[in-house]
């Protein structure tokens, strides 16, 4: 029985897709069109009361919140595919540290940039140029800390690729492509090398090939 992932066209669900490919877990996807408001349909709200994607179903077990789903599949299939959690409790601790940094410090400004730059015209509200400038400044400060960290270890949690790195893929791809802000990555030597490394993984290339962004800018 293959697992299901809802909302494959969007960034947060792509975290789950790339994780499942790394873990060699078969899955199928269920489209949810956010631009048509399908995430607010009563049937969908039964699965995910907050009305966001992704949701996953593993048989009759339902889970949401992308980073929770990552941890679940990485743990359930610990010994299959790429190990994404570290080998010791200390390595796992550092994976959690940097996964939380992604969630708490990296994602808020890059998510705001995504909504403002990529989705505002689609959703029918004007771009807030001040908010874009402020979010880019916040993201730049976070990237400065990443530059320092990545000058000391190849990946965020240490010398192994993990959920902490993987979780950055979808929104950073938007930043580099659709948002035209690749300079934020390229102006930082170690961040740039890290980005080349993680974004060229076959798992991520496969996600990009199979599931296009929700629209072309």
92 vs 201 by CB, closer to a second copy: 92
Nearest partner of 212 among 57, 11, 34, judged by Cα? 11
Adjacent-strand bridge partners of 55: 64
Of residues 69 and 201, the one with the C-beta less far from a second copy: 69
All residues at 6 or more sequence positions from 191 whose CB lies less than 8 Å from its CB, including other chains: 143, 146, 147, 150, 185
* Nearest to a second copy of 49, 124 (CB atom): 49
| Nearest-approach distance from CB 205 to a second copy, in angstroms | 27
Instruction: CB nearer to a second copy: give 62 or 192.
Output: 62
Shortest distance (Å) from residue 53 CB to a second copy? 13
**Smallest distance from a second copy to CB 130, Å:** 16
Reported residue count of the chain is 217
For residue 179, the number of C-alpha atoms closer than 13 Å in the C-beta half-sphere is 25
**Rounded to the nearest whole angstrom, what is the least distance from the CB of residue 97 to a second copy in the complex?**
4
Q: What does residue 62 show for φ and ψ, rounded to 5 degrees?
A: -115, 140
Nearest of 163, 156, 143 to residue 66 by alpha carbon: 163
The smaller minimum CB distance to a second copy, of residues 162 and 201, is found at: 162
In whole angstroms, how close is the CB of 40 to a second copy at the nearest point? 13
Contacting positions for a second copy (CB under 8 A): 49-50, 61, 63-65, 67-69, 71-72, 75-76, 89-90, 92-94, 96-97, 99-101, 103-105, 145, 148-149
Distance of CA 56 to CAs 2, 74, 88, 170, 178, Å? 11, 14, 27, 18, 27
**Minimum distance between the CB of residue 41 and a second copy, rounded to whole angstroms?**
16
* Closer residue to a second copy in complex, CB, 51/176: 51
Contact 28, 41 (CB under 8 A): no
CB 80 within 8 A of CB 21: no
């Amino acid at each position: 029985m293959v697992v299901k992932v809802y909302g494959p066209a969007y960034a947060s669900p792509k975290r789950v897709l790339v994780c499942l490919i790394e873990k060699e877990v078969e899955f199928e996807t269920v489209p949810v069109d956010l631009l048509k408001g399908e995430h607010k349909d009563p049937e969908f709200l039964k699965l995910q009361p907050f009305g966001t994607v992704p949701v996953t179903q593993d048989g009759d077990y339902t889970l949401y919140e992308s980073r929770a789903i990552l941890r679940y599949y990485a743990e359930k299939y610990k010994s299959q595919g790429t190990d994404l959690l570290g080998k010791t409790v200390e390595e796992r601790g550092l994976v959690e540290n940097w996964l939380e940094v992604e969630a708490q410090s990296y994602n808020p400004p890059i998510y705001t940039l995504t909504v403002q730059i990529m989705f505002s015209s689609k959703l029918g509200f004007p771009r807030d140029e001040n908010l874009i400038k402020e979010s880019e400044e916040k993201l730049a400060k976070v990237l400065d800390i990443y530059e320092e960290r990545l000058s000391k270890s190849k990946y965020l949690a240490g010398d192994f690729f993990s959920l902490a790195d993987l979780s950055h893929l979808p929104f950073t791809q938007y930043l580099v492509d659709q948002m035209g802000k690749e300079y934020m990555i390229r102006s930082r030597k170690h961040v740039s090398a890290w980005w080349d490394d993680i974004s060229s993984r076959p798992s991520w290339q496969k996600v990009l090939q199979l599931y296009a962004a929700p629209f072309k800018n």
